[in-house]
Amino acid sequence: MGRITPYQVGLYSACPKLYQLKGQAGVAPLTFFEAQMRDAFIDGERNAVLKDSIVDTRKFSRAWDKIWFPAAAKRNISMKNANKKTLHATVKFADYCKYDISDYIYPTAGVDLQARLIIGQTELVAQADLLKLDMTTKYKTTVIVNFTNNNITLTESAFDQSIRATAYAFYRNKGDYVMHVNVSLDEKREKLNIVTSTFSPKDMDEIRKMLYHVELGLRNNVFYRNSLMCKGCNACPNFN
């Protein structure tokens, strides 16, 4: 049985030929600083769950100190630069704690989780850095929080097929809603860029159809160019 990730679903949906050329490359990795920030956010949230509390800047800062300084020392980063990055990280921690997702109304149910779902004859494997519950609505809503360096807009988030595939992978009960929160850790920005998308059961029906369409195309090696995506892409050798 084959495997596919939400990133690959998004790539194939945008242009099957692009998937054929770059489908195995994977999503752009986080920078060293961004990766340590992601780990600190996850560690801070994990400790809050264990202590039945909510996160705050101090909890994240303690997690950061534990993770960042040993990692920075291994990379021979000077103490001056390490402290400068720590100030940058602290601003982002404080910014995160201003959002509702850090409060009791969005309790954390798990961290660093993976969902596996069979689509046709292929296994969809999706990742959630944090899994939360939305206590503000009468509808049962699962909240997926992923830390990336992708500065997407609200519109892009709502129609991003990789995000939609991730939401579907964690969708278990008919009638539930799924919210996806993209937290961009982009170190070139002073603060976080947080964008939220909410998917209803009706959306899930559409996503399911899209996933089966993509899975069937991949399984049958159906590759073609999406001419609307060609401008500025330069992935195909004949179009460089």
Average pLDDT, the chain: 93
Q: What percent of the chain has pLDDT over 90?
A: 82
The CA-CA-CA angle for residues 173, 144, 23, to 5°, reads 100
- The pLDDT value given to residue 174: 80
* pLDDT tens digits, 133-175: 999 998 899 999 999 999 999 999 999 999 999 999 999 878 8
Q: Output phi, psi for 234, to 5 deg.
A: 60, 20
pLDDT at residue number 25: 56
Burial class (CB within 10 angstroms; exposed 0-12, middle 13-18, buried 19+) of 196 = middle
For residues 156 and 197, what is the distance between their CA atoms, to the nearest angstrom?
Answer: 10
Which of 68-72, 153-157, 221-225, 236-240 is predicted least confidently? 236-240
pLDDT at 24 over 70: no
Percent of the residues in the chain that have a pLDDT greater than 70, as a whole number: 96
Q: Where are the alpha helices (DSSP H) in 123-160?
A: 154-159
| Pairwise CA distance, residues 188 & 175, whole Å | 40
Q: What is the mean pLDDT of residues 199-213?
A: 96
Q: How far is CA 123 from CA 49, 128, 135, 202, 215, in A?
A: 30, 16, 31, 23, 9
Q: Return phi, psi of residue 108, to 5°.
A: -85, 125
Split at pLDDT 50, 70, 90, the class of 235 is confident
pLDDT digits (tens, 9 = 90+) for 36-65: 999 999 999 999 999 889 999 999 999 999
Other C-beta atoms lying within 10 Å of the C-beta of residue 80: 8
Residue-range domain boundaries for the chain: 1-240
- Kindly indicate whether the domain formed by 1-240 is annotated with CATH number 3.90.380: no
pTM as predicted: 0.92
Between 85 and 240, residue with greater pLDDT: 85
The pLDDT confidence band at residue 225, using thresholds 50, 70 and 90, is confident
pLDDT computed for residue 91 by the predictor: 97
Tokens of 162: 């990789």
Mean pLDDT of 96-104: 96
Is pLDDT at 23 greater than 70 in this prediction? no
Phi-psi region of 199 (alpha: psi -120 to 50; beta: other; left: phi over 0): beta
